[in-house]
Amino acid sequence: MPERDEISYDDYRRRSRRSVLTGGTATLAGFIGWRFVQGSAADNRIPGVLRNMHEVNESIWSGLFREDHLAKTFSRSDASILRVNGRIGIRDEIDLDAWRLDVKGPAGLRLDTVSLADIKALPKHDMTIEHKCIEGWAQVTNWGGARFSDFMDRYAGRLDGDITHVELATPDRKYHVSVDVATMRHAQTLLAYEMLDQDLDNDHGAPLRLATPLKYGIKQIKRIGSVQFLRERGRDYWGERGYDWYAGL
């Protein structure tokens, strides 16, 4: 039995699988218990001990993340229009012709302003995957759009390689998510403009939203207005309210 400091990182990860499973169960219990805990938390914020647990959970899950692993896909005939869930940041009227996507780097560096035509000029991909909501429902649907990795290569190519997170926000900035860059660059993470071959409607996030089977629905922000590439985690609406920051599947 080698000394602990002789265990390679890979070894360590393999040995940690049991504790990962335990961590997953703890996360589930966390989701169920959250509203109860929330009721007792001052100023509506998660108590420090639980917040730390969520951060440990992020490092465990992201350590096991494999870029080449594809989430399960489904037959197109199983796909249906998603039920609408969550309207934070999409309640105001939107002028779709005037819509533009602001692209920024660390410290607010302005990179570009992108139109929907620019996004549609990137290679189009579609996928039929299961959308999962932490509220306990799941539904198979079909998304069409551009891979975020293609978008990043095209519009953030001049950033150096130390980007760790991407923050996406609605135009009114009332809803925002922060997602690790490995997930954002995954082949099944799309800037989606279609559901079942139809342009997104307002309630589903027109003109552009995030779609990925690697994260719960809370991360799949509807009506994206800005994308910012960061060297640390950015804003995250539900993370700031005590939900799991990583929210991975």
Ligand X SMILES: Nc1nc2c(c(=O)[nH]1)N[C@H]1C(S)=C(S)[C@@H](COP(=O)(O)O)O[C@H]1N2
Residues that bind ligand X (CB under 6 A): 82-90, 133, 170, 175, 204, 217-218, 220-223
Cβ contact 234:177 at 8 Å: no
Which residues, in sequence order, are bridge partners of residue 129? 141
Cα→Cα distances 189→69, 75, 173, 179, Å: 12, 18, 22, 11
Q: Which is nearer to ligand X, 175 or 245 (CB)?
A: 175
Q: Which is nearer to ligand X, 60 or 236 (CB)?
A: 236
Q: Which residues contact 58 (CB under 8 A, 6 or more apart)?
A: 180, 244, 245, 246
Which partner from the list Mo ion, ligand X, none does 145 bind, CB cut-off 5 to 8 Å by kind?
none
Which partner from the list ligand X, Mo ion, none does 179 bind, CB cut-off 5 to 8 Å by kind?
none
Which partner from the list Mo ion, ligand X, none does 192 bind, CB cut-off 5 to 8 Å by kind?
none
Q: Integer distance in angstroms from the first to the last C-alpha of the chain?
A: 34
To ligand X, the closest distance from the beta carbon of 38 in angstroms equals 16
Which residues, in sequence order, are bridge partners of residue 127? 143
Q: Which is nearer to Mo ion, 163 or 222 (CB)?
A: 222
Cβ contact 208:191 at 8 Å: yes
To Mo ion, the closest distance from the beta carbon of 201 in angstroms equals 18
Q: Which is nearer to Mo ion, 89 or 217 (CB)?
A: 217
Which partner from the list ligand X, Mo ion, none does 94 bind, CB cut-off 5 to 8 Å by kind?
none
H or E element at residue 125: strand 124-132
Which partner from the list ligand X, Mo ion, none does 147 bind, CB cut-off 5 to 8 Å by kind?
none
Q: Which is nearer to ligand X, 147 or 204 (CB)?
A: 204
Query: Which residues here bind Mo ion, judged by CB under 5 A?
Result: 133, 217
Which partner from the list Mo ion, ligand X, none does 184 bind, CB cut-off 5 to 8 Å by kind?
none
To Mo ion, the closest distance from the beta carbon of 29 in angstroms equals 19
To ligand X, the closest distance from the beta carbon of 122 in angstroms equals 22
To Mo ion, the closest distance from the beta carbon of 14 in angstroms equals 32
To ligand X, the closest distance from the beta carbon of 82 in angstroms equals 3
- Quote the tokens at residue 181: 């860059």
Which partner from the list Mo ion, ligand X, none does 87 bind, CB cut-off 5 to 8 Å by kind?
ligand X
Q: Which residues contact 249 (CB under 8 A, 6 or more apart)?
A: 71, 132, 213, 214, 215, 216
Q: Which is nearer to ligand X, 60 or 89 (CB)?
A: 89
In angstroms, the CA 194 to CA 182 distance is: 23
Cα→Cα distances 165→14, 137, 185, 204, 227, Å: 25, 27, 10, 24, 10
- Residue in this structure with the two tokens 């929210």, named with its chain if needed: 247
To ligand X, the closest distance from the beta carbon of 205 in angstroms equals 6
